[in-house]
């Protein structure tokens, strides 16, 4: 067995970054995710692995430091919470436009505006539908446990370098602030420039040497024809992600008459709701999207012959439910249940919503 | 076995750290654990509570509305959480500062004079471990040796000299818990 600890989700993000060979973290503090940078500052990874940790002067500076590090082929990351991610949105679309790998972590808090510091899932649209301008997509992973906070750091970097596209861990104050048992990953050495080239090709701007073509890291092309060709390339990449990278978990779906669709902390609450509902004789299961982009559209469609109704449970006013409805195409009723503004739904409330919507109670 | 516990009191009483030590003790006996604090713009002297779950199986929701056990350390928490116990559940409280004692008849109720015992021990910081002892007497879900290991894991090395005092406090709690209602 590996290194087993009791840790907060936020602390685990930091520890996992050090252990997976991350080269640099650039951030600016904001509740409820400040423990990420705090943990890194306490751990002093520059003395251990050489990983650089910088508190930037602002979110805008931090994301542009990420752009700089990523351009050089480094494994770099930033983290923030909702308002901070909005500030980073310009840099994020530039990363996507320049086809640069990076890990972005959003520990979501209630909005809009400065909102509250309590947990929410109201940044789903921002994460999967854009957030910044232009036709781009992020790879979005939604951990539902502290263990997955550990596992998805390495996975995000892996996918990010595979597709040369920024990846986001979309979590919230529940998973960030709670402690659970976690088995930490083993230490991996930081990649050398040669290893990065082997893994993801010759693109990093590491200094033009004799006999090597000049490399440019940019998202600007004033020639529309070329820009369209480039957009086709991006779209092909997103289709490949949809083909190959969908991740999901099904719980108690085999005999289910009804289905919850929920991600992250809401998925945990739904698991308890399943226990309560099944004790009352209501056969309900859970489909938990792990990747929010690419979305498990096909996996939801596969349930359509079986279930009589789908309840999308989110800590938002109804965002992911739109993707559920796109998948379902009106074939079965799809309803939404959510609490927002920092309120966490209780499992009993979820069961009540299921009964009210589908069982006429 | 799954035990869903709420520990609630004032900030500064050691509510969160008691939960953490309990969770670590669960890990020491190979259980799944979760520790979910109430989270918000808190301040010293305000209320603090933490939901701790220990289970032999994968834990579903870390956020709960109904509990097997409530450990209640001030009046506000009594008002808030007495009703949230499952029928047949267990309520353990310190009568210090309590003006309205628990009223339910369908739960087990125990009391422990934690604040008074801590003063007697000459160290108010032993309070939460005295309460922990009382809890372990009425719900022996973790072994004392695993609590000892949990303390070793959760306390920084420089505080390890305090572990014997903590174990003594737990013993004190075990010896001094009183039954109010036992179903």
Partner residue opposite A348 with nearest CB, options B27, B35, B65: B65
Tell me if B181 sits within 8 A of B122, measured CB to CB: no
Q: Which residues contact B32 (CB under 8 A, 6 or more apart)?
A: A180, A181, B26, B53, B54, B55, B56, B57, B58, B59
Tell me if A77 sits within 8 A of A13, measured CB to CB: no
User: How many separate helices (H) and strands (E) can be counted in chain A?
Assistant: 14, 14
CA quadruple A64, A65, A70, A75: dihedral, nearest 10: -140
Q: What is the pLDDT of residue B43?
A: 66
A271–chain B Cβ distance below 8 A for any pair? yes
- The per-residue pLDDT string of chain A (361 residues; one tens digit each, 9 = 90 and over) reads 579 999 999 999 999 999 999 999 999 999 999 999 999 999 999 999 999 999 999 999 999 999 999 999 999 999 999 999 999 999 999 999 999 999 999 999 999 999 999 999 999 999 999 899 999 999 999 999 999 999 999 999 999 999 999 999 999 999 999 999 999 999 999 999 999 999 999 999 998 989 889 999 999 999 999 999 999 999 999 999 999 999 999 999 999 999 999 999 999 999 999 999 999 999 999 999 999 999 999 999 999 999 999 999 999 999 999 999 999 999 999 999 999 999 999 999 999 999 999 998 6
The per-residue pLDDT for range A102-118, each reduced to its tens digit, is 999 999 999 999 999 99
Query: Percentage of residues in chain A with pLDDT exceeding 90?
Result: 96
Could you give the domains of chain A? 3-194 (3.40.50.970), 248-358 (3.40.50.920)
Q: Which residues contact A132 (CB under 8 A, 6 or more apart)?
A: A89, A90, A92, A93, A94, A96
Chain B residue numbers with beta carbons less than 8 Å from the beta carbon of A275 are 60
Q: Which residues contact A44 (CB under 8 A, 6 or more apart)?
A: none
Report strand pairing: B178-181 vs B108-111.
antiparallel
- Tokens 């808030």 correspond to what residue? B80
- Tokens 């709690």 correspond to what residue? B173
The per-residue pLDDT for range B108-139, each reduced to its tens digit, is 999 999 999 999 999 999 999 999 999 999 99
Q: What is the pLDDT of residue A13?
A: 98
Bridge partners of residue B115, in order along the sequence: none
Partner residue opposite A346 with nearest CB, options B39, B40, B63: B63
Report strand pairing: A179-184 vs B32-37.
antiparallel
CA-CA distance, A266 to A346, in Å (whole number)? 9
CA-CA distance, A42 to A50, in Å (whole number)? 14
Burial (0-12, 13-18, 19+ Cβ within 10 Å), A264? buried
Q: Which residues contact A71 (CB under 8 A, 6 or more apart)?
A: A98, A100, A204, A205, A217
CA B150 to chain centre: 14
Average pLDDT for B78-91: 97
C-alpha pair distances (Å), A95 with each of A90, A203, A236, A345, B107: 9, 14, 17, 35, 58
> Three-state SS for B70?
strand
A55–chain B Cβ distance below 8 A for any pair? no
Q: What is the pLDDT of residue A1?
A: 59
Q: Which two tokens stand for residue A120?
A: 């929410």
| Subunit contact B39:A268, Cβ cutoff 8 A | no
Its domain, for residue B167, covers 2-181
Would you give the end-to-end CA distance of chain B in angstroms? Answer: 20
**What are phi and psi for residue A80, nearest 5 degrees?**
-165, -175
CA A32 to chain centre: 16
Chain A residue numbers with beta carbons less than 8 Å from the beta carbon of B41 are 117
- Tokens 């997509």 correspond to what residue? A137
Q: What is the sign, positive or negative, of the torsion defined by CA atoms of B63, B156, A181, A122?
A: positive
Tell me how many domains chain B contains: 1
Q: How far is A345 from chain B (nearest CA, A)?
A: 8
**CATH code of the domain containing B96:** 3.40.920.10
A173–chain B Cβ distance below 8 A for any pair? yes
Per-chain mean pLDDT for chain B: 94
């Amino acid at each position: 067995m590996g290194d087993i600890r009791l840790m907060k989700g936020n602390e685990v993000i930091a520890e996992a970054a050090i252990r997976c060979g991350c080269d640099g973290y650039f951030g600016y503090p904001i509740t409820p995710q400040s423990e990420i940078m705090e943990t890194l500052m306490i751990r002093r990874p520059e003395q251990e692995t050489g990983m650089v940790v910088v508190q930037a002067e602002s979110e805008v500076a931090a994301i542009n430091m990420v752009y700089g590090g990523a351009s050089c082929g480094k494994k770099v990351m930033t983290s923030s919470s909702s308002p901070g991610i909005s500030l980073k949105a310009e840099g994020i679309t530039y990363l996507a436009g320049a086809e640069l790998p990076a890990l972005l972590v959003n520990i979501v808090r209630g909005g809009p505006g400065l909102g509250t510091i309590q947990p929410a899932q109201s940044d789903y649209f921002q994460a999967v539908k854009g957030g910044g301008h232009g036709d781009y997509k992020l790879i979005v992973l939604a951990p539902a446990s502290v263990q997955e906070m550990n596992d998805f750091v390495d996975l995000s970097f892996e996918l990010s370098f595979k597709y040369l596209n920024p990846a986001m861990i979309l979590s919230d104050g529940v998973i960030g602030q709670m402690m659970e048992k976690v088995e930490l990953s083993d230490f991996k050495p930081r990649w050398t420039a040669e290893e990065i080239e082997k893994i993801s090709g010759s693109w990093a701007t590491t200094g033009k040497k004799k006999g090597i073509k000049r490399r440019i890291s940019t998202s600007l092309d004033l020639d529309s024809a070329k820009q369209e060709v480039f957009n086709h390339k991006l779209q092909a990449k997103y289709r490949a992600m949809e083909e190959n990278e969908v991740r999901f978990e099904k719980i108690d779906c085999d005999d289910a008459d009804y289905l919850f669709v929920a991600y992250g902390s809401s998925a945990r609450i739904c698991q308890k709701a399943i226990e309560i509902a099944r004790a009352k004789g209501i056969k309900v299961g859970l489909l938990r999207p792990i990747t929010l982009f690419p979305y498990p559209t096909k996996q939801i469609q596969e349930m359509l012959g079986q279930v009589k109704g789908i309840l999308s449970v989110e800590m938002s006013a109804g965002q992911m439910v739109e993707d559920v409805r796109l998948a379902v195409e009106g074939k079965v009723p799809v309803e939404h249940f959510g609490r927002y503004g920092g309120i966490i739904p209780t499992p009993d409330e979820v069961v009540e919503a299921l009964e009210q919507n589908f069982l006429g109670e | 076995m799954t035990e869903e516990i709420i520990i609630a009191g004032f900030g500064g009483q050691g509510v969160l750290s008691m939960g953490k030590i309990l969770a670590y003790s669960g890990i020491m006996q190979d259980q799944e654990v979760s520790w979910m604090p109430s989270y918000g713009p808190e301040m010293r002297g305000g209320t603090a509570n933490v939901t701790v779950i220990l289970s032999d199986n994968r834990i579903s929701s870390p956020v709960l509305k109904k509990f097997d056990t409530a450990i209640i350390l001030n009046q506000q928490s009594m008002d808030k959480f007495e009703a949230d116990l499952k029928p047949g559940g267990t309520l353990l409280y310190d009568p210090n500062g309590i003006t309205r004692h628990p009223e339910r008849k369908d739960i087990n109720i125990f009391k422990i004079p934690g604040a008074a015992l801590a003063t007697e021990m000459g160290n108010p910081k032993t309070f939460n471990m005295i309460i922990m002892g009382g809890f372990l007497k009425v719900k022996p879900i973790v072994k004392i040796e695993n609590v000892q290991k949990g303390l070793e894991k959760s306390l920084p090395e420089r505080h390890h000299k305090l572990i014997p005092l903590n174990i003594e406090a737990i013993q004190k709690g075990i010896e001094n818990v009183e039954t109010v209602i036992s179903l």
